[in-house]
């Protein structure tokens, strides 16, 4: 588990110009603000009043003071700090060595010399559970740092706690409560689906696919011998064949799978809420997706069809 004495956001160069180099190549945390060897020595010595005085020769007083704040944060953070940044639509994090060194930067005319700290290990865009820290899984409060104008920022306690929680693979208490409630809803919906009349079950499957954007190309069930739903996705023109069975198993199950395999469709589904016996693992290899009650319930929750299921199950 990661424990951080502070969490620091760093923008790796103006417009993120050093992100790829620092994260993918050098494994470093990098800062500009280089004004010569003398200022570097003052920073190493922690003589911040002298640093500010030197910077006032180049900048207005408030700008010099702001630069000192960022330099001081970069130099004084120890190896217990966690550094974060944003790159390639993900949150990246690392720890870094305490030592700051000067590094020639011949690729960049604006910053021919930069200040760097070596990363301990490597930058990571995964939490400790191995999950990708992409933007879709992060709070807007944390992502707001992307628009921060300056180079570094120490996160306030509440936001720092959230960032460490996400890095550790945790979930905020409020989100966990919602997740638990959703899991219970999916389970209850699956039970209700299993109680549906076969005709209602067929209608539900049709509603699910149409709600997901598929257009039905023929009537539901009825006289069709091989499939119950003939569907098309209007944007991509993909065709989808769906068979719907309340209960099925044994030789009949394999026969249904083989009949779907023989069809020339882009997507093939067998939807069954109460399969009898074990579903053959070979179905997926044959290109047929088997959807059971729990999977259909997940779709119903996501597509807003729970009320329909409840009304038909009552």
Quick: pLDDT tens for 145-192. 999 988 999 999 999 999 999 999 998 888 888 889 999 999 999 999
Among 135, 170, 205, the domain boundary falls at 170
Among 144, 170, 196, the domain boundary falls at 170
The mean predicted confidence, pLDDT, of the chain is 91
Residues 6+ apart with CB under 8 A from 58: 35, 64
pLDDT at 197 over 50: yes
What domain range includes position 225?
174-313
CB count within 10 Å of CB 181 equals 10
What crossing angle do the helices spanning 37-45 and 48-56 adopt, rounded to 10°? Answer: 150
**Alpha-carbon gap, residue 190 to 199, rounded angstroms:** 17
pTM of this structure: 0.72
Among 119, 140, 170, the domain boundary falls at 170
Whether 287 is in a domain gets the answer yes
Q: Specify the range with the lowest mean pLDDT, choosing from 117-126, 143-152, 220-229.
A: 220-229
* CATH number of residue 228's parent domain: 3.40.1350.10
Residues 295 and 222 in one domain: yes
Whether 1 is in a domain gets the answer no
SS3 113: strand
State how many domains the chain has.
2
Per the CB < 8 A criterion, the answer to whether 17 and 35 are in contact is: no
Per the CB < 8 A criterion, the answer to whether 108 and 99 are in contact is: no
Residues 160 and 220 in one domain: no
Residues 207 and 98 in one domain: no
Residues 187 and 286 in one domain: yes
Averaged over 262-283, what is the pLDDT? 84
Residues 6+ apart with CB under 8 A from 70: 31, 33, 150, 151, 152
**Alpha-carbon gap, residue 250 to 253, rounded angstroms:** 6
User: Residue 61: pLDDT band by 50, 70, 90 thresholds?
Assistant: very high
User: Both ends of the chain: CA-CA distance in Å?
Assistant: 47
pLDDT at residue number 110: 79
pLDDT at residue number 134: 96
pLDDT at residue number 223: 41
């Amino acid at each position: 588990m990661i424990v951080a004495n502070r969490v620091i956001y760093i923008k790796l160069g103006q417009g993120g110009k050093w992100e790829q180099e620092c994260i993918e190549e050098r494994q470093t945390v990098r800062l500009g603000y280089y004004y010569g060897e003398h200022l570097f020595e003052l920073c190493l010595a922690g003589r911040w009043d002298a640093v500010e005085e030197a910077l006032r020769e180049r900048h207005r007083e408030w700008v010099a003071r702001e630069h000192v704040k960022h330099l001081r944060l970069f130099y004084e953070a120890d190896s217990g700090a966690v550094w974060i940044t944003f790159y390639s639509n993900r949150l990246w994090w690392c720890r870094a060595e305490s030592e700051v060194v000067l590094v020639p930067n011949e690729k960049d005319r604006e910053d021919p010399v930069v200040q760097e700290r070596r990363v301990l290990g490597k930058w990571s865009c995964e939490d400790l559970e191995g999950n990708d820290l992409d933007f879709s899984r992060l709070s807007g409060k944390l992502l707001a740092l992307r628009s921060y104008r300056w180079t570094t920022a120490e996160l306030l306690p509440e936001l720092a706690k959230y960032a460490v929680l996400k890095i550790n693979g945790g979930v905020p208490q409020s989100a966990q409560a919602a997740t638990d409630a959703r899991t219970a809803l999916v389970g209850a919906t699956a039970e209700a689906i299993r109680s549906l009349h076969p005709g209602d079950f067929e209608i539900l499957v049709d509603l699910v696919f149409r709600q997901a954007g598929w257009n039905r190309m023929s009537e539901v069930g009825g006289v069709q011998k091989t499939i119950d739903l003939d569907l098309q996705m209007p944007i991509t023109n993909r065709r989808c064949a769906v068979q719907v069975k309340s209960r099925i198993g044994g030789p009949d199950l394999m026969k249904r799978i083989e009949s779907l395999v023989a069809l020339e469709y882009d997507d093939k589904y067998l939807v069954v809420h109460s399969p009898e016996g074990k579903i053959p693992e070979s179905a997926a290899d044959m290109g047929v997706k088997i959807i059971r009650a729990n999977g259909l319930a997940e779709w119903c929750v996501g597509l807003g069809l729970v009320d329909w299921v409840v009304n038909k199950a009552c």
